[in-house]
Amino acid sequence: MTQLLVFREHLQKFYQKNAFFLNPLCRFFIGFIIFFSINRLIGYHPVLNHRYIEAILALTSILMSGEVLLFFSAVFIVVHIFYVSNLLAVAVALLFAVLYFAYLKFVPEHAYLIMAFPIAFSLNLVCALPVLLGLLTGPVFVLPIICGVSVYYLLRTITSVLSTSTDASINLYQTVMQQFIENEEMYLFILVFSLVSLVVYLLRTRRWDFSFEISILTGGAANVIAILLLNYYFNSNINILLFLLGSVLSLGLVWGLYFFRMPLNYAGVENLQFEDDEYYYYVRAVPKMNIAVPRKSVKRFNAKRSNDVSKTKQKEEQGADHENVM
Amino acid sequence: MVNEEKVRIMAQIALDETKYHKKEIRGGEYDKSDYVRSHVISAIWNVTISYIFILCLIALYYADYIFLNVARLAYERLGFILLGIYTIFIILTILMSYLFYSKKYIRNRKILEEYYEKLEQLDRFYEQGREDADNDTITGI
pLDDT at A7 over 80: no
- The pLDDT of A83-88, averaged and rounded, is 87
Q: Establish if A314 belongs to a structural domain.
A: no
Q: Establish if A25 belongs to a structural domain.
A: yes
Q: Tens digit of pLDDT for each residue in B28-86? A: 777 888 889 999 999 999 999 999 999 999 998 888 888 888 888 888 899 999 999 99
Q: Residues A79, A48: contact at Cβ < 8 Å?
A: yes
Q: Tens digit of pLDDT for each residue in A136-165? A: 887 888 899 999 999 999 999 998 888 887
Q: Establish if A13 belongs to a structural domain.
A: yes
pLDDT classification of A305: cutoffs 50, 70, 90: low
Per-residue HEC secondary structure of B48-89 comes to: HHHHHHHHHHHHHHCHHHHHHCCCCCCHHHHHHHHHHHHHHH
Structural domain boundaries, residue A164: 2-264
Which residue out of B38, B60, B66, B104 would a mutagenesis test of the A interface target, given it has the greatest number of A Cβ atoms within 10 Å?
B60
Q: Residues A81, A89: contact at Cβ < 8 Å?
A: yes
Q: Establish if A287 belongs to a structural domain.
A: no
Q: Establish if A91 belongs to a structural domain.
A: yes
Q: Tens digit of pLDDT for each residue in A188-246? A: 889 999 999 999 899 888 877 777 888 888 988 888 888 888 888 877 777 778 888 88
State how far residue A163 is from chain B, nearest Cα, in angstroms: 21
Tell me the chain B residues in contact with residue A173 when contact means C-beta distances shorter than 8 Å: 60-61
Q: Residues A270, A285: contact at Cβ < 8 Å?
A: yes
A246: exposed, middle or buried (Cβ count in 10 Å: 0-12, 13-18, 19+)? buried
What does the pLDDT read at residue A326? Answer: 44
What does the pLDDT read at residue A325? Answer: 46
| Whole-complex ipTM | 0.72
Q: Tens digit of pLDDT for each residue in A264-298? A: 555 556 666 666 666 676 666 666 666 665 666 66
What does the pLDDT read at residue A148? Answer: 92
B46–chain A Cβ distance below 8 A for any pair: yes
Which one has a higher pLDDT value, A305 or A274? A274
Q: Tens digit of pLDDT for each residue in A233-251? A: 877 777 778 888 888 888 8
Q: What is the mean pLDDT of chain A?
A: 80
DSSP-based helix, strand, coil % in chain B, nearest 5: 85, 0, 15
Q: Establish if A34 belongs to a structural domain.
A: yes
Tell me the chain A residues in contact with residue B54 when contact means C-beta distances shorter than 8 Å: 98
- DSSP letter for each residue of A152-168: HHHHHHHHHHHHH----
Q: Establish if A319 belongs to a structural domain.
A: no
Q: Kindly give the residue spans of alpha helices, DSSP state H, lying in A109-168.
A: 110-122, 128-136, 142-164
Q: Tens digit of pLDDT for each residue in B93-121? A: 999 999 988 998 888 888 888 888 888 88
Q: In chain A, how many domains are there?
A: 1
**C-alpha span between A113 and A109 (Å, rounded):** 8
Which residue out of B18, B41, B53, B92 would a mutagenesis test of the A interface target, given it has the greatest number of A Cβ atoms within 10 Å?
B53
pLDDT at B140 over 70: no
From the list A4, A9, A1, A14, the residue with the least C-alpha distance to A293 is A9
B49–chain A Cβ distance below 8 A for any pair: yes
State how far residue B53 is from chain A, nearest Cα, in angstroms: 6
The answer to which of A2-6, A54-58, B69-73 has the lowest mean pLDDT is A2-6
What does the pLDDT read at residue A210? Answer: 77
| Partner residue facing A102 (CB), from B46, B60, B61 | B46
What residues have CB less than 8 Å from A75, skipping those under 6 apart?
A: none
Q: Residues A262, A228: contact at Cβ < 8 Å?
A: no
State how far residue B115 is from chain A, nearest Cα, in angstroms: 23
Q: Establish if A217 belongs to a structural domain.
A: yes
**C-alpha span between A111 and A144 (Å, rounded):** 8
